[in-house]
């Protein structure tokens, strides 16, 4: 069913999903590999235009079977549709193929990959701890940026982790799906939660600001344009996110209660007159 | 009552209060002025040691009357004890003296300064939008950092604002106490609120982090060691802070309710099995 390999002299990589993150992958793998790209939702013309812009001559659009025929297949689909993507992919994979995912949560996706992929297929679950924004921020591109990596099955998964470190210069953090999701429930859960609330409070001052507020809004700026799927993966698909949220809200409520209780000791609002500010 | 001026060849500046911010002021004014410093709460030996460290030979410790005798007097006391400080200072001031405050709120302090200082004393209310931390961060020191400035009374107040810009290189933002407090209720109110809650959630991940989370924690790091008086001035003495907090909490609750309602559509937790992640 699959066409002859289009890049005889390069390592062949299949890429399933060509949204914001799939495109970022293509830009950084194009110098190293020949990419066979499949996206079930993009119109053919859109996909072709994106491929030309992001990977130049080192990528071709193809059907799922052709992408699956590569020795390395990267799944860059939303976490919520991973199961569907894996089930569609599984029948086309050759023994020994390495499948890599890149989602923001790892416990659920790792279970899906291990349950749905043939036992002779190797698995590396990853979460690049950056998006197109941070990757575009530095002159070094993605060099030095962090990626969490869970080798789930096979020796090629370990070799791929080594390539991420030496080939792409990433800061590779070896972890487990459980440890990853616990950390990200705080790291991404809190960042996105705070960002959502602050964006809802806009307009906020931009001229009369402190350095710490500027840093806060810089953090907000890095995640405010993330796709809704990313927010939902972080806040709902991560099994620990709800508990972190509850803890944040409980502590915030306690702080608010403390501030309100203290305020009651001043009989009037503190700005009512000079006396109210005396200690 | 006051001793002869100790710095005959330099502009004389009285500085009342020698906590973290008073010391920062001394470090940056010592090259330009002779400082007469009074702090009612510091033991004499501590004050002498701090003066030697921060201002070298260009500062002397003195009583309140000697500090009040200078043509420019800076009040670097906590907002909560400003009224007391101003009342103590007022009887010692000469006509034409310029009094400057540096507190984190401006409506209440401006009212105090205007009500308690003699009518022939000029007033400049200021809020340097930085602390010792941001000032120490850059090789340029305080150059380019922001200061909010409300000239309340007299022409020397305007000239002092010009010195802050040209002499010290600060980014001077001319404003009113009301506009300042409205902006700071969001800027400082939100930063300190979020920082307090995040500090209470520690330990938080430090290795497996995203760039946006790192920025968030950098913002937290800049305010976490602020004196409790600063937090209380920001959250309680600012007349608009409570409303901003209520809005933050209301939006956070709404977001939480939305996430919980969506989660109910999944009959089981999303990590219970592969099927739950399918869209």
Which pLDDT score, from 0 to 100, does residue B277 have? 29
Starting at the earlier edge strand, list the strands of the sheet with B72-75: B59-61, B34-38, B12-16, B72-75, B98-101, B122-128, B146-153, B171-174
Which pLDDT score, from 0 to 100, does residue A271 have? 39
* pLDDT above 60 for A68: yes
| pLDDT tens-digit readout, A145-194 | 999 999 999 999 999 999 999 999 999 999 999 999 999 999 999 999 99
Which pLDDT score, from 0 to 100, does residue B7 have? 72
Which pLDDT score, from 0 to 100, does residue A3 have? 54
Chain B residues touching residue A82 (CB < 8 angstroms): 277
Strand partners of residue A211: none
Three-state helix/strand/coil letters over A243-256: HHHHHHHHHHHHHH
What dihedral do alpha carbons B129, B135, B72, B227 form, nearest 10°?
70
Name the least confident of A38-42, A44-48, B224-228.
B224-228
Measure the CA angle with vertex B240, ends B239 and B241; round to 5°: 100
Which pLDDT score, from 0 to 100, does residue B9 have? 81
pLDDT category at A256 given cuts 50, 70, 90 is confident
* pLDDT above 70 for B270: no
CB pairs under 8 A between A and B: 244
Name the least confident of A149-158, A267-276, B59-68.
A267-276
Which pLDDT score, from 0 to 100, does residue A161 have? 92
Which residue is listed with tokens 């235009």?
A49
Tokens of A64: 């799922």
Assign B16 to helix, strand or coil. Answer: strand
Asked whether the beta carbons of residue B112 and residue A274 sit closer than 8 angstroms, the reply is yes
CA distance A214 to chain B (A): 8
Average pLDDT of the segment spanning A86-91: 97
Q: In this structure, how many other beta carbons lie within 10 angstroms of the beta carbon of residue A245?
A: 20
Starting at the earlier edge strand, list the strands of the sheet with A72-75: A59-61, A34-38, A12-16, A72-75, A98-101, A122-128, A146-153, A171-174
For residues B166 and B172, the answer to whether their CB atoms sit within 8 Å is: no
Q: Chain B: residue nearest A135 by CA?
A: B211
* pLDDT above 50 for B84: yes
CA distance B22 to chain A (A): 19
| pLDDT tens-digit readout, B32-57 | 999 999 999 999 999 999 999 999 89
Average pLDDT of the segment spanning A206-225: 96
Of the candidates B108, B245, B121, B113, the residue with the CA atom closest to the CA atom of residue B177:
B108
| pLDDT tens-digit readout, B131-176 | 877 777 666 789 999 999 999 999 999 999 999 999 999 999 999 9
Of the candidates A226, A225, A216, A227, the residue with the CA atom closest to the CA atom of residue A194:
A216
Which pLDDT score, from 0 to 100, does residue B274 have? 36
Q: What is the DSSP letter of A168?
A: T
Tokens of B85: 């400080």
CA B182, chain centre distance (Å): 15
% residues pLDDT > 90 (chain A) = 76
Which pLDDT score, from 0 to 100, does residue B268 have? 39
In chain A, where does DSSP find H-type helix?
A: 20-29, 44-55, 64-68, 82-89, 107-116, 132-137, 155-166, 177-200, 211-223, 228-232, 241-265
What dihedral do alpha carbons B66, B67, B70, B74 form, nearest 10°?
-170
d(C-alpha A223, C-alpha B145), whole Å: 27
Which pLDDT score, from 0 to 100, does residue A272 have? 34
For residues A85 and A61, the answer to whether their CB atoms sit within 8 Å is: no
* pLDDT above 70 for B22: yes
Asked whether the beta carbons of residue B216 and residue A215 sit closer than 8 angstroms, the reply is yes
Chain A residues touching residue B274 (CB < 8 angstroms): 83, 108, 111-112, 115-116
Strand partners of residue A37: A15, A61
d(C-alpha B13, C-alpha B3), whole Å: 14
Domains of chain A in start order, with CATH, are 12-175 (3.40.50.720), 181-262 (no CATH)
Chain mean pLDDT for chain A: 89
| pLDDT tens-digit readout, A226-248 | 888 888 889 999 999 999 999 99
* pLDDT above 50 for B1: no
What dihedral do alpha carbons B151, B164, B148, A204 form, nearest 10°?
140
Chain A residues touching residue B79 (CB < 8 angstroms): 277
Of the candidates A158, A265, A209, the residue with the CA atom closest to the CA atom of residue B145:
A209
Which pLDDT score, from 0 to 100, does residue A270 have? 38
For residues B58 and B32, the answer to whether their CB atoms sit within 8 Å is: no
Q: Which residues contact B262 (CB under 8 A, 6 or more apart)?
A: A232, A236
Assign A158 to helix, strand or coil. Answer: helix
Q: Chain A: residue nearest B218 by CA?
A: A215
What ipTM is given for this predicted complex?
Answer: 0.89
Which pLDDT score, from 0 to 100, does residue B260 have? 81
Name the least confident of A54-68, A104-118, B263-277.
B263-277
């Amino acid at each position: 069913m699959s066409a002859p390999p289009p890049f005889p002299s390069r390592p062949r990589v299949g890429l399933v999903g060509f949204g914001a993150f799939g495109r970022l992958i293509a830009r950084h793998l194009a110098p190293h590999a020949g990419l066979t790209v499949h996206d079930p939702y993009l119109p053919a013309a859109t996909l072709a235009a994106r491929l030309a812009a992001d990977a130049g001559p080192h990528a071709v659009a193809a059907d799922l079977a052709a992408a699956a025929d590569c020795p390395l297949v990267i799944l860059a689909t939303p976490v919520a549709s991973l199961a569907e993507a894996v089930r569609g992919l599984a029948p086309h994979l050759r023994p020994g193929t390495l499948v890599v995912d890149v989602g923001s949560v790892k416990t659920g996706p790792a279970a899906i990959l291990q349950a749905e992929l043939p036992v002779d297929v190797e698995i590396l679950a990853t979460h690049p701890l950056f998006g197109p924004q941070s990757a575009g921020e530095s002159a070094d591109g993605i060099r030095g940026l962090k990626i969490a990596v869970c080798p789930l099955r096979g020796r090629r998964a370990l070799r791929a982790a080594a390539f991420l470190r030496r080939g792409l210069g990433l800061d590779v953090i070896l972890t487990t799906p459980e440890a990853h999701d616990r950390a990200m429930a705080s790291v991404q859960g809190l960042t996105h939660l705070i960002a959502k609330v602050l964006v809802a409070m806009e307009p906020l001052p931009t001229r009369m600001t402190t350095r710490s507020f500027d840093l806060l809004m810089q953090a907000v700026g890095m995640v405010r344009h993330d796709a809704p799927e990313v927010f939902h993966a972080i806040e709902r698909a991560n099994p620990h996110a709800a508990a972190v949220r509850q803890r944040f809200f409980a502590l915030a409520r306690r702080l608010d209660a403390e501030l309100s209780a203290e305020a009651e000791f001043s009989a009037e609002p503190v700005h009512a007159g000079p006396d109210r500010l005396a200690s």
